[in-house]
Structure 1
Amino acid sequence: MKRSLGLGLVILVCAAGISTAHAAQCAEHRPINVGVVPQQAPSDLAKAWLPILASISERTGCAFRFATAPTIPEFEKRVSQGDYDIAYMNPYHYTVFSKNPGYVAFAKEKGRKLKGLLVAAKASQINRMEDLNGMKVAFPSPAAFAATIIPIAEMKAAGVEVTPTYVSSHDSVYLNVSRGFYAGGGGIVRTLNAMSPEVRDKLKVIWESKAYAPHAFAALPGLTPAVTQAFFNGMASLSNTEAGQGMLRVLRFKGIEAATDSEWDSIRALNLDLIRLGDPK
């Protein structure tokens, strides 16, 4: 298993409040890197995930450490290198990185199906996908499954030709579209709902995809199974307390539930292995 000691711009913060006695109970006596795909600004992700990982660490005795990357392509590179012990990644990422370096899904967001969206400025005359024909459209990254791959495929099937521009995150898509810099943009329901009202209220949804399997929580091969189970148990238990429910609401999560690799077979069946991930972009 590859261990990364220097992740550059990745935000790495050790979970606080773990006593030496607690830490000794963990099956791994080291910090466990939990990598989260940067659909939103890393600082916003940190605010949401640090309290959750601190709570899980305190409950389980394992030092779960938050990690992300400045952009989605950089996140892909780091996942390909095995920099994260546990990674929260989109469905397409999972189908790629389950092959190499071999991540194995063990959980998913409870009760969630992933839907791609196209948004436009509420004040604009763009009301349908077809209205974007010939225009510049913002997307988070080439391999963002529901926010990029699916909308572009659907537009091509409908004969809608656009010029895609990649702006590094879902938040950047929404901000740029709300300010009129792009005619439209791709996103997903959860990240759109997580935007501040002053941005979200300036946008309208002009197209929505069918539902797909959601993001996967996946473990790197070689991670002690007891640690993976501890993470799952700790995160699943958040929905049992008022404080934990508050943390999950920040993520727009109801909770998590167990998952198996085969649940992403419908994504594999789309034959989307057209994008090289993990290479410098």
Structure 2
Amino acid sequence: MKISPWFNTHRLFSIALFLGGVFATQASDTKHTVNQPSILTFGVVPQQAASTLARKWSPLLAALSQNANFQLHFATAPDIPTFEKRLAKGVYDIAYMNPYHFTVFNESPGYQALVKEQGKKITGIIVVQKRAKAQSLSDLDGQLLAFPAPAAFAASVLPRANLKIKGINNQIKYVGSHDSVYLAVAQGLVAGGGGVKRTFKTMDKEVTKQLRVLWETPGYTPHAVAIHPRVPVGVREELMIKFIQFSATQEGSMLLQGLGFNPFEAAKSSDWNDVRALGLGGFSQPLETNDK
């Protein structure tokens, strides 16, 4: 059977259109893949329950991710020691960590300072029940005290160091988070416990109305938002700018207020030299590499 030239031409034209569509789709897919934002894990030190942190931090991270070349995904850990192990392994791309954590994990695996709160000094507190007889630290001598974790800087390291300097001896119980400390004190399970003003202010009022602040530490450079060295420089600079500009918007100001934060400013490693000057060194116990 003889096939007309028209048929051959039509068939070739159809094939050309089909292949053109395939290549165009592949090119579009490739372009889309290239332009997809980086997924970055943002770890938050578990000073409070994971559900509380997720509720407070997720809107902030979502706002920072808008129209950006990255998407920030909230993450935390079951307790502070587990958070420390994950920092040691570099699990988080970015992390909100306490001042002592920064001095340790800036050394290895090399987290770099990104931003910190403007005009903020972090202070630790020791709280007792509102009706407790204790009026000074010496009144807690020999008593059982609760702290979040051994390396919780303001809520544990500073209060314990001051108690030791003053010759006050205590039994110590580590309970995993600031919230757990406040609950333990309110329920009378311990005579007192360590925390920080920010978590005390944002804790459930039904708990904090049963407590009072007995003592406060001197102030130090606050928590760091620090970034792992594997994150590209361009993403790091974009994220820093977004953090700094965030408080200029009404939405940003409201989200920061919800977290009890001041506006952010650019930070550098030397900002935490006041913490390094304490001579705390590394962790007293080697950090394990496996979560348990």
Residue in structure 1 matched with residue 118 of structure 2 by the alignment: 110
The Cα of 1:180 is off from its aligned counterpart by 0.9
Q: Does 2:164 correspond to 1:166?
A: no
Distance 1:249 1:220 in 2: 27
Residue identity over aligned pairs, in percent, reads 45
Change (3 A) 1:178 1:24: farther
Residue in structure 1 matched with residue 285 of structure 2 by the alignment: 276
The Cα of 1:23 is off from its aligned counterpart by 8.8
Letter in 2 for 1:217: V
**Cα RMSD after superposing both structures:** 1.9
Deviations 1:201-252 (A, max 9, x none): 1111111111101011111112111212222222223212222211111110
Deviations 1:172-222 (A, max 9, x none): 101110111110000111111111211111111111111101011111112
Letter in 2 for 1:56: L
2:130 to 115, 118, 122: 122
In the TM superposition, what are the counterparts of 1:223-234 in structure 2 within 5 Å?
223-234=231-242
Corresponding residue pairs, total? 260
Residue in structure 1 matched with residue 28 of structure 2 by the alignment: none
Residue in structure 2 matched with residue 192 of structure 1 by the alignment: 200
Which TM-score applies when normalising by structure 1? 0.88
Which TM-score applies when normalising by structure 2? 0.85
Residue in structure 1 matched with residue 146 of structure 2 by the alignment: 138
**8 Å contact 1:87–1:219 — kept in the other structure?**
yes
Matched residue of 1:87: which SS? strand
Distance 1:128 1:257 in 2: 36
Change (3 A) 1:85 1:122: same
Distance 2:192 2:143 in 1: 8
**8 Å contact 1:79–1:278 — kept in the other structure?**
no
Moved segments of 4+, more than 6 Å: none
Q: Does 2:57 correspond to 1:69?
A: no
**Structure 2 alignment gaps of length 5 or more:** 1-30
Name whichever structure is richer in helix by fraction.
2
The Cα of 1:24 is off from its aligned counterpart by 5.7
Residue in structure 2 matched with residue 7 of structure 1 by the alignment: none
The Cα of 1:22 is off from its aligned counterpart by 9.8
**8 Å contact 1:23–1:63 — kept in the other structure?**
no
Distance 1:239 1:23 in 2: 32
